Chains A and B, each alone.
Chain A
Amino acid sequence: MSDSEQDQLSTFVTLISNDGFQFQISRDAAVVSGTLKGMLNTSFQESSTNKIKLHELDAVLLEKVIEYLYYNLKYKESVDVPEFDIPTEMALELLVAADFLDV
């Protein structure tokens, strides 16, 4: 594996939901989550393969979480931000996920 390929890999990470969906997101977005940051910055398997399997989350939930990660990345510095939209029925599940992911 050449150096350039390694660099290419490290800017993106893959998140896998428990029903098998894969999401490629930028590393910057992933490290918004304290849990993912911990996984990626240590010597665990996840940091070398840049793939993280999240057994607790299904695709729908994971998609919403990723939406928030990018939302956070985009609006971190600004003030007049649009409200982050969460479907009411998802709120409780999402809270459990957010608690786990530390976001």
Chain B
Amino acid sequence: MSRRRRQQQQDTTDSNHEVRGPSSALTSFLREQGINAEAIRLRYEETLRQQAEQGTSILYEGDEETEEIRAIRQRASIKRSRANNDIDDDEAEINEDDGEGKNYCIECDKEFVVSVYSKKMENYGRIGYLCGDCTAIQIKKDRLSRANEIEARKRRKKVAAALLDREEYKLPSLQDCCIQIISKNIDDVELLGDIGVANSKKISRILSKNRSLDSKTMTLFLDPSLKEIEFWDCSNISSDALTQLAANCPLLESITLNLCGRLHNDNLLYYSDKLKNLQHLNLNGPFLINDSMWQGFFDSDVGRNLKGFHLRNTHRFMPDSLIALLDNCGNNLEYLTLSRLDGLTTKTAYDLLPHYLQKLKHLEISYPNKEELIDDDLIVSLLSINGETLETLILDGCSGLSDQFLIGGIRPFCPSLTKLSTVLLDQITDEGMTQLFTNWEINGGLMDINLSRCIEIGDDGAYAMLEHSGQTLVELSLNSVKLLTKKFFTRLSRNLRFPLLTALDIGFVRSCDDSVLAILSRIAPKLSILEIYGDNRCTHKAIVRSDLRVIGRQSDSI
């Protein structure tokens, strides 16, 4: 009311240009159209009056309800009065009353008296009440369906969580249950006993993941007959314990130590003295080992025997260390990894590689300190010597490389290559890929290709690659190869099949949509993991095989 009065006041004062409060765009629009609250109220009252006059049969739901409630109240008051009056009289009264509006259960059609506890239901196109028995059943059903809904939601949540771990949700096996308990109580375990190498490895990995692998728990995995050992988190293993490792397992042929920042010069010295059979050394983050120790290690009997050397994440591995490595065992090396070694800052050190290495099966040079350090000429000359035996080539982050090493190095020299990884090589073009893979007859096909973030590759290059290796390919990553279009996938669908492909990553290839998922599901029958992070045209509606796990859809995370 007050608002209307104010409005009227405004109308009268408007012409006088007096001060008034702010008015919204809607208010001024309505005023222009001559619409105000008074007019709306009048119109509503008019329609009400018309309806009453016509005696219209249209009943609003609210009205119906009030009538019903009135009926219930009436009956209740009768019931109450029955307590005071003669019983026979009352029953007659009720029967009379029910004669007009008899109530039948909407479900079982039983005649009954509506009470406040009767459940109202809409069914078979009409609205009615349920009798006492049916109400009880229905309430139970509702409760159950609510419980089922909660159960289903829980299931979806667990399945989604498992999906992110690239696993299928399933009941844990008895072995997993046991391993979990053992890992939880690892401090009380004195001896693992004969639990099998696979289980022991599993426990060790779980402990690493939980970050509970330390000097004490580590000793559980030491065995004098052991030939291989792997610890994926050595940050809590003291230097002394690392010495113990070599003392307890003198027959070791392969050592893998991850996050081994506590590996000391003395440890490596001890290894070079004791581990006569050592052939493979895989270290990640041994930044305490200095230049002279590296040189000393490679110069020892053990160092000279190395067949595999993998080193990542240390800035203390200097050009002279690399020269010592090459001098002593360069001719024997079959597996070599040099990743994120920021101490190697001179090109001359890298340029020595082709002079020593000659029978490499695995070569990884990734993320060098500066991109100029690794150039096409170096890789081409390395491949010209080692190409015959080379199976794995990883050149992630060597962004100084261009098409030339593909066409002049890999194509002519690498018949046995099965794995190629060129993450972040932004100078590789569509043209280069096409030239490498078109009619590349000496190579029978690659099994694992990673072209993540090779952003210059387009439809033609990728197609040539898949045409060449489609039959043998097991894993493929085209993450962020953003130039790929929908046409590329249709072309695959029409011409190619991938009988062995099991894992595919096409995240951030934005042309990928539901129909692409359906195509991939069809043309790669073995595909079990498909990652599509960042492909926001992919929805839960995609029609894919039930055994294909699609990871990274927005709709998966509930």
Does A pair with B?
A: yes
Is the beta-carbon distance between B151 and A79 smaller than 8 angstroms? yes
Is the beta-carbon distance between A94 and B174 smaller than 8 angstroms? yes
A52: B residues at CB distance < 8 A: none
Which of B186-194, B272-280, B520-528 lies at the interface with chain A?
A: B186-194
A1 interface hit (Cβ, 8 Å): no
- Tally of chain B residues near chain A (CB < 8 A): 25
A75 interface hit (Cβ, 8 Å): yes
Bound complex: CA of A95 vs CA of B198, how far in Å?
12
Is the beta-carbon distance between B158 and A91 smaller than 8 angstroms? no
B546 interface hit (Cβ, 8 Å): no
| Partner pick for A80 among B154, B174, B198, B199, CB 8 A cutoff | B154
A91: B residues at CB distance < 8 A: 178, 181-182, 185
Closest to A94 in B: B178
Is the beta-carbon distance between A95 and B195 smaller than 8 angstroms? yes
Bound complex: CA of A84 vs CA of B178, how far in Å?
10
A60 interface hit (Cβ, 8 Å): no
Which residues of chain A (45-103) have a CB below 8 Å from chain B?
65, 68, 72, 75-76, 78-81, 84, 86, 88, 91-92, 94-96, 98-99, 101, 103
Among B154, B178, B182, max chain A CB count under 10 A is at: B178
A72: B residues at CB distance < 8 A: 171, 174
B171: A residues at CB distance < 8 A: 72, 75-76, 81
A92: B residues at CB distance < 8 A: 178, 182, 189, 192-193, 195
A79: B residues at CB distance < 8 A: 151, 154-155, 158, 169
Minimal beta-carbon separation of B103 from chain A (angstroms)? 41
Is the beta-carbon distance between A103 and B182 smaller than 8 angstroms? no
- Tally of chain A residues near chain B (CB < 8 A): 21
Closest to B196 in A: A99
Is the beta-carbon distance between B173 and A95 smaller than 8 angstroms? no
Bound complex: CA of A76 vs CA of B169, how far in Å?
11
With A79-B169, A92-B189, A92-B192 given, is the CB distance from A98 to B174 under 8 Å? Answer: yes
Bound complex: CA of A79 vs CA of B174, how far in Å?
17
Is the beta-carbon distance between A98 and B173 smaller than 8 angstroms? yes
Which residues of chain B (234-253) have a CB below 8 Å from chain A?
none
Bound complex: CA of A88 vs CA of B199, how far in Å?
17
Is the beta-carbon distance between A103 and B185 smaller than 8 angstroms? no
Q: Chain B, 383-413, contact with A by CB distance < 8 Å: what is the 0/1 string?
A: 0000000000000000000000000000000
Q: Chain B, 160-181, contact with A by CB distance < 8 Å: what is the 0/1 string?
A: 0000000001011111011101
Bound complex: CA of A78 vs CA of B152, how far in Å?
10
Is the beta-carbon distance between B154 and A98 smaller than 8 angstroms? no
16 further contact pairs, Cβ within 8 A, besides A81-B171, A94-B174, A99-B195? A75-B171, A79-B151, A79-B158, A84-B177, A88-B185, A91-B178, A92-B192, A92-B195, A95-B178, A95-B195, A96-B193, A96-B194, A98-B173, A98-B174, A99-B196, A103-B174
For the complex of A and B, 4 pairs with smallest distance between CB atoms: A95-B178, A98-B174, A79-B155, A91-B181
Q: List 5 A-B contacts (CB under 8 A).
A: A65-B174, A72-B171, A91-B178, A92-B193, A96-B194
